[in-house]
Structure 1
Amino acid sequence: MTSTTDETTPPRHDHIFRNALIYDGSNDGPLPGEVAIAGERIVAIADQGTIPAGPATREHDLKGKALAPGFIDSHTHDDRIVLDSPDMLPKISQGVTTVVAGNCGISLAPVTFDGPPPAPLNLLGGKEAYQFPTFADYARAIAETTPGVNVAALVGHSSLRLATMSDIGGKAAASEIAAMLDRVDEAMENGAAGFSTGLFYPTNAGADADEVSQVAARFSAHGGVYATHMRDEMDHVLDSIAESVDTAARAGIQLVISHHKCAGVSNWGRTRETLPVIAKAAAGQPIGIDAYPYAAGSTNLRADLVTDTYRIMISWSEPHPEMTGRDLADIAAEWSVDLDEAARRLDPAGAIYFQMDEDDVRRVLAFPLTMIGSDGLPHDKHPHPRLWGTFPRVIGHYARELGLFPIETAIHKMTGLTAKTFNLKDRGRIAEGCFADLVIFDPATVIDRATYEDPLQFSVGIEKVFVNGRLSWEAGATTVHRNGRLVGGRAG
Structure 2
Amino acid sequence: MPDLLIRGARIIDGTGAERRRADLAVTAGVITEPDGAPAARTIDADGLVLAPGFVDLHAHSDLAVLTEPAHLAKVSQGVTCEVLGQDGLSYAPVDGPTLDRLRRQLAGWNGNPDGFAWDWRTVGEYLDRLERSGTAVNACYLVPHGTLRALVVGWQDRPATAAELDRMRGLLAQGLREGAVGLSSGLTYTPGGYASTAELTELCRVVAEHGGYHCPHTRSYGAGALAAYAEMIEVSRRSGAPLHLTHATMNFGVNRGRAGEFLALVDAALADGLDLTLDSYPYLPGSTTLAALLPSWATEGGPDRTLERLAEPAARERIRIAMEERGSDGCHGVVADWATVQISGVRDPALADRVGRTVAELAGGRGATAAFLDLLLADRLGTTILQHVGHEENVRAIMRHPVHTAGSDGLLTGARPHPRAWGTFPRYLGHYARELGVLTLEEAVARMTGRPARRLGLHRRGLIRPGYAADLVLFDPLTVRDTATFEHPKQAATGIPYVFVNGVAVIDDGRPTGARAGRTLRRRPTGETR
* Cα deviation, residue 167, structure 1: 4.9
Q: Which of these residues, 31, 35, 38, is aligned with residue 52 of structure 1?
A: 35
SS of match in other structure, 2:243:
strand
CA distance in 2 between partners of 1:112 and 1:386 (Å) = 32
TM-score (norm 1): 0.92
Q: Percent identity?
A: 35
Q: What is the root-mean-square deviation in Å for CA atoms of aligned residues?
A: 1.8
Of the three residues 331, 335, 340, the one matched with 2:362 is 331
Contact 2:384 2:414 in 1 (8 A): yes
- 1:249-296 Cα offsets, whole Å, 9 max, x none, are 222111001111112112111112111211221221110111000001
The 8 Å contact of residues 447 and 461 in structure 1, kept in 2 or not, is answered as yes
Q: Indicate the residue corresponding to 1:101 in structure 2.
A: 84
| Matches of 1:113 and 1:275, distance apart in 2 | 42
**Structure 2: 5+ residue runs without aligned partners?**
295-329
> How big is each residue's C-alpha offset from its partner over 1:128-163, in whole Å with a ceiling of 9 and x where there is no partner?
776531012101110111110000111100111111
Structure 1 equivalent of residue 336 of structure 2: 307
The reply to whether residue 259 of structure 1 matches residue 247 of structure 2 is yes
Cα deviation, residue 64, structure 1: 2.5
Specify the alignment match of 1:321 in structure 2. Answer: 352
Q: So what's the TM-score if we normalise by structure 2?
A: 0.86
Pick which of 407-416 and 178-187 moved more. 178-187
Q: Residue 374 of structure 2 aligns with which residue?
A: 345
Structure 1 residues 167 and 401, CA gap change in structure 2 (3 angstroms): closer
SS in 1 for 2:88: coil
Which of residues 179, 182, 188 in structure 1 aligns to 2:167? 179
Question: How far does residue 190 in structure 1 lie from its aligned partner after superposition?
Answer: 1.8
- Structure 2 counterparts to residues 442-457 of structure 1, below 5 A: 442-457=476-491
Which residue of structure 1 lines up, in the alignment, with residue 204 of structure 2?
A: 216
Whether contact under 8 Å (1:99, 1:152) holds in the other structure is yes
- The superposition leaves residues 323-351 of structure 1 with CA deviations (integer Å, 9 ceiling, x where unpaired) of 12322222222xx3232112111112211
**Larger helix proportion of the pair:** 2
Map 1:84-483 onto structure 2 (within 5 A). Answer: 84-114=67-97, 115-117=100-102, 121-122=106-107, 123-126=109-112, 131-283=119-271, 284-301=273-290, 302-303=293-294, 304-305=330-331, 307-308=336-337, 311-318=340-347, 320-333=351-364, 336-347=365-376, 348=381, 349-483=383-517
CA distance, structure 2, for counterparts of residue 360 and residue 42 of structure 1? 38
Describe the shift of the 1:145–1:418 C-alpha distance in structure 2 as closer, same or farther (beyond 3 A): same
Q: 1:387 to 1:410 in 2, by over 3 A?
A: same
Structure-2 separation of matches of 1:253 and 1:152: 18
Alpha-carbon distance change, 170 to 127 in structure 1, aligned in 2, over 3 angstroms: farther
**Which range moves more in the overlay, 205-214 or 21-30?**
205-214
Distance 1:171 1:393 in 2: 42
Asked if the contact 1:396/1:448 (under 8 Å) is kept, the reply is: yes
Q: Note if contact 1:80-1:108 (Cα within 8 Å) is conserved in structure 2.
A: no
* Counterpart in the other structure of 1:62: 45
Tell me: CA distance 1:120–1:199, structure 2 relative to 1, closer, same or farther (3 Å).
Answer: farther
Report what 1:8 is aligned to.
none
Contact 2:11 2:19 in 1 (8 A): yes
For the Cα contact (< 8 Å) 2:155–2:190, is it kept in 1?
no
User: Hey, what's the Cα distance between the residues in 1 that align with 2:453 and 2:496?
Assistant: 21
Range with bigger deviation, 232-241 or 412-421: 232-241
Gaps (5+ residues) in structure 1?
A: 1-11, 45-50
Contact kept in structure 2, 1:78 and 1:378, CA below 8 Å: yes
Contact 2:5 2:39 in 1 (8 A): no
Contact 1:423 1:488 in 2 (8 A): no
Answer whether contact 1:93 1:475 (CA < 8 A) is retained: no
One-letter code of the match for 1:67? L
Q: Aligned partner of 1:326: which letter?
A: R
Quote the Cα distance in structure 2 between the aligned partners of 1:43 and 1:207: 49
